[in-house]
Each structure stands twice: as structure tokens, then as C-alpha cells.
């Protein structure tokens, strides 16, 4: 059984018009241990039954020995959990949760090329993983983050990832905008990243059509994206199913 923890919201920031970042501080502990990529399950006051109340969110920050956790949450039309976060949660609001949980984590020893494919707030576990590798001085691994969203205004952690691409020799970052008519990167000059119109699928189909047994693909996002990516990687390109790991949300 996972331990239940009490925490309080200590900070909230609007990240995009539909997304907010929430920081909570866990009570009763000196530090909160977890693996990059894991999630917690919150018990929110939004219903009587467990299935109505429980919502799971990936931890967006890297393990750092503190008791502060960050969550990146998008507002979903009609979603009881996200409506609660956007309309009722403020600084000081108590949040009860259990965890950490989940096997969507990196191997103990990384010898593979890593390809992270995500849409929207599915970037949260990858942000945790990339920062964790950077904090541990493991900057030389080959890591490619392919992030998809609809419009320029929905890009998450853009400047941060572009800066990491400058610091980490093996890290590359591509943004795919599925409904944008004009590409408008809002970054200082000198920061490099890929920016293109369309969905995430053409990027990995083009760049990873040569199958390599040591390559690992991690997918996080809506079910439709996951299903299409898994089919593309395993059936169209011919990767072994063990080389593809995924986590659904929504």
C-alpha cells in the first residue's frame, strides 16, 4: 500500500492560457523521494466516491532531496479535477496524495539512445527525467525530445528546454505545432531548437527509420497519439515492442 501524504500549495504560475504550474510542499517529511517519471494520485474534494475524487498527475520536477513537488496541469473542458485546480485551488490549499508510483522511468544504467515523444502536459515526466540527468552530470546521453501541441501559445517550458539543449551535448529539442498558421518562437537569439508545423509523427518517422536495437522510445500523451505512435514504431518501422514504453493521460 502506498503512503498517503498531506501537502499544501505554496506557489501557482500560469504557464499558458490553458495550463498552470502548481508547487506543493509535503508535510511531515524532510524530503520526498521519487524517481524521475513517476506520478502521485491525489484525493480531491470533487465527489463522494473514490473514482470521482482520485486524479493522477506526473511529477514535473526532478528529484532534488527536497519536499517540494511541481505539477503541470492543463484545464480540460468539463473536467472536475482540472476545474477544481483552476477555480478553487490557491496558495495554502491542502492537497492529499499517495505515491510515488509508476514504472515509466529510465533504466538504472543508461546505455541506449533515448527518444521522448509527447503532447501537451505529457511533457511533465520528460522534464523530470531530463533535469535529473543534467543534475547528475549525465549530459552526454543522446536524448531527443519531440513535443507536440496546437499553437505557439501552448508551448510548455520552451525557453528552459532550449537552454538545456545548449548545456547538454546530447540533448535535442523539437516542437511540432499541429494547428498553427505562423511559427513564432519567442526566445533569445542563439538558442537552438527545431520548430515545425504539423504533428509529432513525421519527426520520428523521418529521423528513426533506420532501426537500431539499442534505441528506446518513451511516449506520453493522449491515447490517440500513443496508439498511432506505437503502431508506427512497431509495425511501420519494425522496432521491437520492448523498445517502446508509454504512459497515457486523459
Q: Which of 77, 101, 125 is the last residue of a domain?
A: 101
pLDDT at 184: 61
Q: How sure is the predictor about 2, in pLDDT bands with cuts at 50, 70 and 90?
A: confident
Last residue of a domain, one of 51, 71, 101: 101
161 pLDDT more than 80 = yes
The whole domain housing 133 covers 113-248
Number of domains in the chain: 2
Same domain, 77 and 187: no
CA-CA distance, 146 to 198, in Å (whole number)? 12
CA distances for 13 relative to 16, 113, 157, 161, 186, angstroms: 9, 33, 12, 18, 19
Same domain assignment for residues 235 and 161: yes
Going by the DSSP 8-state scheme, the letter that residue 76 receives in this structure is: P
CATH of the domain at 167: 3.40.50.80
Mean pLDDT of 169-192: 74
CB 10 within 8 A of CB 23: yes
The C-alpha cell at 119 is: 503532447
Domain boundary among 67, 101, 135: 101
Within 10 angstroms of residue 232's Cβ, the number of other Cβ atoms is 18
Classify residue 235 by its DSSP letter: I
Task: Tell me the whole-structure pTM to 2 decimals.
Answer: 0.94
Give the phi and the psi of residue 239 in degrees, each rounded to 5.
-75, 150
Q: Are 49 and 163 members of one domain?
A: no
Residues 151 and 206 in one domain: yes
Amino acid at each position: 500500500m502506498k503512503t498517503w501524504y498531506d501537502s499544501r500549495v505554496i506557489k501557482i504560475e500560469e504557464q499558458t492560457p490553458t495550463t498552470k504550474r502548481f508547487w506543493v510542499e509535503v508535510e511531515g517529511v524532510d524530503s520526498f523521494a521519487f524517481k524521475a517519471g513517476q506520478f502521485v494520485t491525489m484525493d480531491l474534494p470533487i465527489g463522494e466516491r473514490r473514482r470521482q475524487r482520485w486524479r493522477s498527475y506526473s511529477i514535473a520536477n526532478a528529484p532534488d532531496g527536497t519536499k517540494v513537488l511541481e505539477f503541470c496541469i492543463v484545464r480540460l473542458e468539463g473536467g472536475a479535477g482540472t476545474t477544481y485546480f483552476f477555480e478553487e485551488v490557491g496558495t495554502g490549499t491542502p492537497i492529499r496524495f499517495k505515491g510515488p508510483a509508476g514504472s515509466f522511468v529510465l533504466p538504472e544504467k543508461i546505455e541506449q539512445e533515448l527518444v521522448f515523444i509527447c503532447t501537451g502536459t505529457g511533457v511533465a515526466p520528460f522534464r523530470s527525467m531530463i533535469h535529473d540527468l543534467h543534475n547528475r552530470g549525465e549530459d552526454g546521453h543522446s536524448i531527443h525530445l519531440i513535443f507536440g501541441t496546437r499553437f505557439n501559445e501552448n508551448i510548455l517550458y520552451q525557453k528552459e528546454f532550449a537552454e538545456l539543449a545548449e548545456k547538454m551535448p546530447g540533448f535535442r529539442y523539437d516542437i511540432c505545432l499541429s494547428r498553427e498558421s505562423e511559427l513564432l518562437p519567442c526566445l533569445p537569439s542563439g538558442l537552438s531548437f527545431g520548430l515545425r508545423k504539423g504533428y509529432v509523427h513525421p519527426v520520428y518517422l523521418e529521423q528513426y527509420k533506420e532501426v537500431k536495437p539499442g534505441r528506446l522510445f518513451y511516449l506520453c500523451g493522449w491515447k490517440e497519439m500513443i496508439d498511432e505512435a506505437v503502431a508506427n514504431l512497431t509495425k511501420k518501422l519494425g522496432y521491437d515492442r520492448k523498445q517502446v514504453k508509454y504512459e497515457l493521460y486523459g
